[in-house]
Amino acid sequence: MRANDVNGSIAIIARYNYLLSDTRTALSKAQLTDNVYFWSFHKSKGLEADYCVLIGFFQGKSGFPNENRDDAIIEALLPSLDSYPHSEERRLLYVGITRAKKKCYIIANPSAPSDFITELLAPKYELNIASTAFQEQYRRIFKCPNCEDGYLRLIQGKFSEFYSCSSGLGCDVGKARVCSKCRAPSIDTRDASICNNPACNNKLKICNKCGRPMKKRQGNFGEFWGCSGYGIKNDQCTNTSKF
Protein backbone atom coordinates (compact mmCIF):
# COMPACT_ATOMS: atom_id res chain seq x y z
CA MET A 1 0.00 0.00 0.00
CA ARG A 2 2.73 2.46 0.97
CA ALA A 3 4.70 1.60 -2.17
CA ASN A 4 1.77 2.59 -4.37
CA ASP A 5 0.35 5.45 -2.31
CA VAL A 6 2.83 7.18 0.00
CA ASN A 7 0.31 9.61 1.48
CA GLY A 8 -2.70 7.31 1.62
CA SER A 9 -4.44 6.85 4.97
CA ILE A 10 -4.69 3.31 6.34
CA ALA A 11 -7.13 1.96 8.92
CA ILE A 12 -6.60 -1.30 10.79
CA ILE A 13 -10.04 -2.61 11.82
CA ALA A 14 -10.74 -5.49 14.21
CA ARG A 15 -13.57 -6.89 16.30
CA TYR A 16 -11.55 -6.83 19.53
CA ASN A 17 -9.32 -4.14 21.00
CA TYR A 18 -6.56 -6.58 22.01
CA LEU A 19 -5.94 -7.31 18.33
CA LEU A 20 -5.64 -3.60 17.63
CA SER A 21 -3.25 -3.18 20.55
CA ASP A 22 -1.03 -6.04 19.38
CA THR A 23 -0.99 -4.69 15.83
CA ARG A 24 -0.21 -1.16 16.99
CA THR A 25 2.73 -2.48 19.03
CA ALA A 26 4.12 -4.46 16.09
CA LEU A 27 3.80 -1.56 13.64
CA SER A 28 5.28 0.89 16.16
CA LYS A 29 8.40 -1.25 16.50
CA ALA A 30 8.76 -1.19 12.72
CA GLN A 31 8.03 2.58 12.65
CA LEU A 32 5.06 2.10 10.35
CA THR A 33 2.32 3.98 12.21
CA ASP A 34 2.36 7.27 10.28
CA ASN A 35 -1.12 8.04 8.95
CA VAL A 36 -2.34 4.67 10.28
CA TYR A 37 -5.53 4.47 12.36
CA PHE A 38 -6.74 1.68 14.63
CA TRP A 39 -10.50 1.21 14.84
CA SER A 40 -12.85 -1.39 16.19
CA PHE A 41 -15.71 -2.35 13.88
CA HIS A 42 -18.12 -0.52 16.17
CA LYS A 43 -16.07 2.69 16.34
CA SER A 44 -15.39 2.72 12.59
CA LYS A 45 -19.00 3.71 11.81
CA GLY A 46 -18.99 7.02 9.95
CA LEU A 47 -15.21 7.03 9.47
CA GLU A 48 -13.22 6.50 6.25
CA ALA A 49 -9.67 5.78 5.15
CA ASP A 50 -8.09 5.29 1.75
CA TYR A 51 -7.22 1.69 2.61
CA CYS A 52 -8.67 -0.60 5.25
CA VAL A 53 -7.10 -3.78 6.61
CA LEU A 54 -9.56 -6.06 8.41
CA ILE A 55 -8.03 -8.57 10.84
CA GLY A 56 -9.09 -11.27 13.31
CA PHE A 57 -10.91 -13.68 10.98
CA PHE A 58 -10.16 -16.97 12.69
CA GLN A 59 -12.24 -19.68 14.35
CA GLY A 60 -13.00 -19.77 18.07
CA LYS A 61 -14.59 -17.78 20.85
CA SER A 62 -12.51 -14.69 20.07
CA GLY A 63 -12.77 -14.98 16.29
CA PHE A 64 -14.96 -13.02 13.91
CA PRO A 65 -17.69 -14.11 13.99
CA ASN A 66 -17.11 -15.54 17.43
CA GLU A 67 -18.24 -19.03 18.37
CA ASN A 68 -19.19 -18.17 21.95
CA ARG A 69 -22.36 -20.12 22.77
CA ASP A 70 -23.44 -17.48 25.30
CA ASP A 71 -23.36 -14.80 22.60
CA ALA A 72 -25.29 -17.09 20.27
CA ILE A 73 -28.01 -17.51 22.90
CA ILE A 74 -28.23 -13.75 23.44
CA GLU A 75 -28.48 -13.14 19.68
CA ALA A 76 -31.23 -15.73 19.42
CA LEU A 77 -33.27 -13.86 22.04
CA LEU A 78 -32.94 -10.50 20.31
CA PRO A 79 -35.29 -9.38 17.51
CA SER A 80 -33.89 -10.62 14.20
CA LEU A 81 -33.62 -8.23 11.24
CA ASP A 82 -32.67 -11.01 8.82
CA SER A 83 -32.38 -14.79 8.61
CA TYR A 84 -28.61 -15.02 8.21
CA PRO A 85 -26.44 -16.51 10.97
CA HIS A 86 -24.30 -14.06 12.99
CA SER A 87 -26.53 -11.24 11.73
CA GLU A 88 -25.21 -8.57 14.11
CA GLU A 89 -21.55 -9.33 13.37
CA ARG A 90 -22.39 -9.61 9.67
CA ARG A 91 -23.58 -6.00 9.76
CA LEU A 92 -20.36 -4.99 11.49
CA LEU A 93 -18.36 -6.70 8.74
CA TYR A 94 -20.26 -4.69 6.14
CA VAL A 95 -19.47 -1.50 8.05
CA GLY A 96 -15.76 -2.38 8.11
CA ILE A 97 -15.54 -3.23 4.42
CA THR A 98 -17.28 -0.02 3.37
CA ARG A 99 -14.89 2.23 5.34
CA ALA A 100 -12.33 1.95 2.51
CA LYS A 101 -12.35 4.67 -0.14
CA LYS A 102 -9.94 2.82 -2.44
CA LYS A 103 -9.26 -0.77 -1.36
CA CYS A 104 -10.10 -3.12 1.48
CA TYR A 105 -7.85 -6.00 2.54
CA ILE A 106 -8.92 -8.93 4.72
CA ILE A 107 -6.30 -10.96 6.59
CA ALA A 108 -7.34 -14.41 7.79
CA ASN A 109 -5.92 -17.72 8.96
CA PRO A 110 -6.06 -20.26 6.08
CA SER A 111 -5.77 -23.22 8.44
CA ALA A 112 -8.67 -22.08 10.67
CA PRO A 113 -10.76 -19.57 8.71
CA SER A 114 -13.87 -18.12 10.29
CA ASP A 115 -17.35 -18.66 8.87
CA PHE A 116 -17.20 -15.26 7.17
CA ILE A 117 -14.02 -16.18 5.29
CA THR A 118 -15.47 -19.50 4.17
CA GLU A 119 -18.50 -17.64 2.85
CA LEU A 120 -16.46 -14.91 1.13
CA LEU A 121 -14.46 -17.56 -0.74
CA ALA A 122 -17.60 -18.39 -2.74
CA PRO A 123 -17.22 -17.66 -6.47
CA LYS A 124 -20.04 -15.10 -6.50
CA TYR A 125 -17.95 -12.56 -4.54
CA GLU A 126 -15.08 -12.59 -7.07
CA LEU A 127 -12.41 -11.65 -4.53
CA ASN A 128 -8.79 -11.12 -5.49
CA ILE A 129 -7.31 -13.96 -3.40
CA ALA A 130 -3.66 -13.09 -2.80
CA SER A 131 -2.75 -16.05 -0.60
CA THR A 132 -1.91 -19.30 -2.39
CA ALA A 133 -3.16 -21.15 0.70
CA PHE A 134 -6.61 -19.66 0.25
CA GLN A 135 -6.55 -20.30 -3.48
CA GLU A 136 -5.96 -23.98 -2.76
CA GLN A 137 -8.68 -23.98 -0.11
CA TYR A 138 -11.06 -22.26 -2.53
CA ARG A 139 -10.45 -25.01 -5.06
CA ARG A 140 -11.06 -27.72 -2.46
CA ILE A 141 -14.28 -26.25 -1.09
CA PHE A 142 -16.00 -25.13 -4.28
CA LYS A 143 -14.52 -27.52 -6.85
CA CYS A 144 -17.24 -29.68 -8.38
CA PRO A 145 -16.60 -33.32 -7.40
CA ASN A 146 -18.25 -34.68 -10.54
CA CYS A 147 -16.51 -32.87 -13.40
CA GLU A 148 -13.07 -31.59 -14.31
CA ASP A 149 -13.57 -27.87 -14.84
CA GLY A 150 -16.64 -26.83 -12.88
CA TYR A 151 -16.98 -24.93 -9.62
CA LEU A 152 -20.03 -24.90 -7.39
CA ARG A 153 -21.81 -21.56 -7.30
CA LEU A 154 -24.63 -20.49 -4.99
CA ILE A 155 -28.06 -20.15 -6.61
CA GLN A 156 -31.16 -18.58 -5.10
CA GLY A 157 -33.96 -20.95 -6.10
CA LYS A 158 -37.70 -20.47 -5.87
CA PHE A 159 -37.92 -22.20 -2.48
CA SER A 160 -34.34 -22.26 -1.14
CA GLU A 161 -30.67 -21.78 -1.92
CA PHE A 162 -28.56 -24.48 -3.52
CA TYR A 163 -25.25 -24.92 -5.33
CA SER A 164 -25.04 -25.69 -9.04
CA CYS A 165 -22.02 -26.56 -11.15
CA SER A 166 -20.65 -23.67 -13.22
CA SER A 167 -19.98 -26.01 -16.15
CA GLY A 168 -23.67 -26.20 -17.03
CA LEU A 169 -26.72 -28.40 -16.71
CA GLY A 170 -24.98 -31.53 -17.99
CA CYS A 171 -23.04 -32.11 -14.75
CA ASP A 172 -24.26 -34.96 -12.54
CA VAL A 173 -23.88 -32.92 -9.35
CA GLY A 174 -27.36 -31.45 -9.94
CA LYS A 175 -28.37 -29.30 -6.99
CA ALA A 176 -25.89 -29.50 -4.11
CA ARG A 177 -27.16 -28.56 -0.66
CA VAL A 178 -25.98 -25.57 1.37
CA CYS A 179 -24.24 -26.66 4.58
CA SER A 180 -26.33 -25.54 7.55
CA LYS A 181 -23.20 -24.88 9.58
CA CYS A 182 -20.83 -22.96 7.28
CA ARG A 183 -22.88 -22.48 4.07
CA ALA A 184 -20.31 -24.22 1.88
CA PRO A 185 -21.49 -26.81 -0.68
CA SER A 186 -22.67 -30.10 0.86
CA ILE A 187 -22.36 -33.16 -1.40
CA ASP A 188 -24.81 -36.05 -1.14
CA THR A 189 -23.68 -39.64 -0.72
CA ARG A 190 -26.07 -42.60 -0.37
CA ASP A 191 -27.26 -41.77 3.15
CA ALA A 192 -25.55 -38.52 4.13
CA SER A 193 -24.79 -35.07 2.76
CA ILE A 194 -21.20 -34.12 3.62
CA CYS A 195 -19.88 -30.55 3.70
CA ASN A 196 -17.19 -29.94 1.09
CA ASN A 197 -15.32 -27.62 3.46
CA PRO A 198 -12.60 -29.64 5.24
CA ALA A 199 -12.60 -27.15 8.12
CA CYS A 200 -16.28 -27.93 8.73
CA ASN A 201 -17.00 -31.50 7.52
CA ASN A 202 -20.57 -31.26 8.79
CA LYS A 203 -22.76 -34.29 7.97
CA LEU A 204 -26.50 -34.31 7.39
CA LYS A 205 -28.29 -37.65 7.58
CA ILE A 206 -30.44 -38.05 4.45
CA CYS A 207 -32.98 -40.61 3.28
CA ASN A 208 -31.48 -43.26 1.00
CA LYS A 209 -34.85 -43.59 -0.75
CA CYS A 210 -35.89 -40.03 -1.57
CA GLY A 211 -32.94 -37.83 -0.50
CA ARG A 212 -34.84 -35.75 2.04
CA PRO A 213 -33.23 -35.02 5.44
CA MET A 214 -33.75 -37.69 8.10
CA LYS A 215 -34.98 -36.61 11.52
CA LYS A 216 -34.39 -38.23 14.89
CA ARG A 217 -37.66 -39.61 16.23
CA GLN A 218 -38.80 -41.40 19.38
CA GLY A 219 -40.67 -44.70 19.02
CA ASN A 220 -41.97 -47.39 21.34
CA PHE A 221 -38.61 -49.15 21.27
CA GLY A 222 -36.31 -46.14 21.39
CA GLU A 223 -34.91 -43.53 19.01
CA PHE A 224 -34.73 -44.05 15.25
CA TRP A 225 -34.22 -42.06 12.06
CA GLY A 226 -37.37 -41.20 10.11
CA CYS A 227 -37.65 -39.47 6.74
CA SER A 228 -38.82 -35.85 6.93
CA GLY A 229 -41.12 -36.64 4.01
CA TYR A 230 -43.38 -38.76 6.20
CA GLY A 231 -45.97 -36.01 6.62
CA ILE A 232 -46.14 -35.00 2.94
CA LYS A 233 -49.50 -36.31 1.71
CA ASN A 234 -48.90 -36.24 -2.04
CA ASP A 235 -45.32 -37.54 -1.90
CA GLN A 236 -45.03 -39.40 1.39
CA CYS A 237 -41.88 -41.34 2.30
CA THR A 238 -42.09 -43.77 5.23
CA ASN A 239 -38.44 -44.84 5.18
CA THR A 240 -36.77 -45.39 8.58
CA SER A 241 -33.38 -46.58 9.79
CA LYS A 242 -31.76 -47.54 13.07
CA PHE A 243 -30.31 -44.76 15.19
Domain coordinates in residue numbering, the chain: 10-120
The whole-model pTM stands at 0.60
Burial pattern 54-63, b for ≥16 Cβ within 10 A else e, equals bbbbbbeeeb
May I ask the CATH class of domain 10-120? alpha beta
Q: Which residues contact 7 (CB under 8 A, 6 or more apart)?
A: 35
Q: What is the pLDDT of residue 76?
A: 54
Residue 74 identity (one-letter amino acid): I
User: Of the candidates 9, 20, 5, 2, which has an alpha carbon nearest to the alpha carbon of residue 99?
Assistant: 9
**pLDDT for res 77:** 55
- The three-state secondary structure class of 69 is helix
Q: Is the dihedral of CA 73, 75, 76, 78 positive or negative?
A: positive
- For residue 211, the model assigns a pLDDT of 92
pLDDT at residue 239 in the model: 93
pLDDT at 78: 53
Give the pLDDT of residue 43: 96
Instruction: Note down pLDDT in tens along the chain; length 243 residues.
Output: 888 899 999 999 999 999 999 999 999 999 999 999 999 999 999 999 999 999 999 877 788 988 765 555 555 555 555 556 788 899 999 999 999 999 999 999 876 788 898 888 877 787 888 888 787 777 788 888 888 778 888 888 888 899 988 776 667 777 899 999 888 999 999 999 999 988 888 999 999 999 999 999 998 889 999 999 998 988 999 999 988
Do residues 155 and 161 touch, judged by C-beta distance below 8 A? Answer: yes
